[in-house]
Amino acid sequence: MNIIVSGGGTGGHIYPALTIIRAIERRTPSAKILYVGTLHGLEADIVPREGIDFAAMELSGFERRLTLSNILRAGRALYAVWQARSIVRSFRPHVAIGTGGYVAGPILLAASLAGVPTLVQEQNVFAGVTNRILARFATAIAVGMEDATGVFPKQKTFVTGNPIRAEVCTATREEGARVFGLSSGKKTVLVSGGSRGARSINRAMIDVLAHAAGQTDVQYLHVTGADEHADTLARLHARGVRLEDSPHIRVLPYLYNMPQAMAMADLAVFRAGATGLAELAARGVPAILIPYPYAAENHQEKNARALEAAGAAKVIRNSDISAEVLEGALHALLTDDARRLAMATAMKRLGKPEAADEIAALALRICEGDGGANC
């Protein structure tokens, strides 16, 4: 069986795709997988590391206004459709799966036009434009949250939850402590602005970490994003923070071992991308969420508000974030064990650790439903 999987740009599209791939491989070890992405997205680095065949297309997303750049991108988009048709004809997939990002559009459209069953995986409460368009042609849609079902045809929409890496559930606190050189017995705060980092969160954390440097009862694992790392370290140094003298504080550019970090976390400060939220939910980690304000259709705030309504998170708007506001929210939760535990319990109830297996089963089922002669 040949399977194309496409999704890219950020870790929020890539890691769900990789998790689905591993679930398919467990069910069908003989399956041949081709991951289609772009050379400019994180997938070009991450996917080959996983030992998965990778094909790249020349494509970039559109700005939300008429510009010369958009006109040029439209030309590249047409070329990408031609590339996608070529990839589909060459690889001859039996099913194609898209996990979001603009690269998934041409490849799933080309597969659908070639008569290949397609599966769209929508992670957010509010579906993105690409997936809303692709849903018209798709054989099936797997949604991560119940609230997302309203915009898709009911007869082919399935609430599966969002796929998460198996290691998210199996990593232990002790393992995390060893990996990061921290204590397994201390409260730990995990801070991450997503795979590319978040400047507003990083800036607010400067004073938080400056105050925390002399208070060793709480540990901080702060992931800045690669582009923000050097600047964050410089600002901490300017505030008199010497990380070599503060072993309870770790400031890192990127994590390839996020499952171990989550296993350590008693509280998280996160953006509100669907994949990160799904992983926090599977672990039952309560969160302070600061949604990215420029996400398409403001979907991150919608994701965050859904968790807040469930009692699993506190939401701070990006426009309201400051060191004072963030430090106050952290203090309130770190000093109130009962409230933090209630939030953790609510978060755990939202978790769907079996989502990847359900999506893999659905992908194989639609292939068989198409006749299954070559599945």
DSSP secondary structure of 43-59: HHHHHHHTT-EEEEE--
Identity at 45, one-letter amino acid code:
D
The pLDDT, as a whole number, for residue 77 is: 58
Sheet strands side by side (includes 53-57): 53-57, 32-38, 2-6, 95-98, 118-122, 140-143, 157-159
Note the pLDDT of residue 149: 87
Residue 220 confidence (pLDDT) above 50: yes
* pTM recorded for the entire structure: 0.82
Residue 280 contacts residue 347 (beta carbons within 8 Å): yes
What is the gyration radius of the CA atoms in the chain, in angstroms? 21
Write out the CATH class of domain 167-349: alpha beta
CATH class for the region spanning 2-164+353-369: alpha beta
* Confidence at residue 113, expressed as pLDDT on a 0 to 100 scale: 92
pLDDT by residue (tens digit) across 132-157?
Answer: 888 888 999 999 988 888 889 999 99
DSSP track, 62-127: PPSS--HHHHHHHHHHHHHHHHHHHHHHHH--SEEEE-SSTTHHHHHHHHHHTT--EEEEE-SSS-
The angle subtended at Cα 142 by Cα 136 and Cα 146, nearest 5°, is: 105
pLDDT at 350 over 90: yes
CB 333 within 8 A of CB 314: yes
The per-residue pLDDT for range 46-58, each reduced to its tens digit, is 999 999 999 998 7
Beta sheet of 313-315, edge-to-edge order: 249-252, 218-223, 187-192, 267-270, 287-289, 313-315
Per-residue pLDDT tens over the stretch 282-331: 999 999 999 999 987 898 999 999 999 999 999 999 999 999 999 999 99
pLDDT in tens, 165-181: 889 999 999 999 999 99
Give the mean pLDDT of 239-247.
95
Instruction: Please answer whether residues 6 and 120 qualify as being in contact, where contact means their C-beta atoms are separated by less than 8 angstroms.
Output: no
pLDDT of residue 373: 46
Cα–Cα distance measured from residue 9 to residue 20, given in angstroms and rounded to the nearest whole number: 17
Instruction: List where CATH 3.40.50.2000 sits in the chain.
Output: 2-164+353-369, 167-349
- What distance in Å separates the CA atoms of residue 237 and residue 243, rounded to the nearest whole number? 8
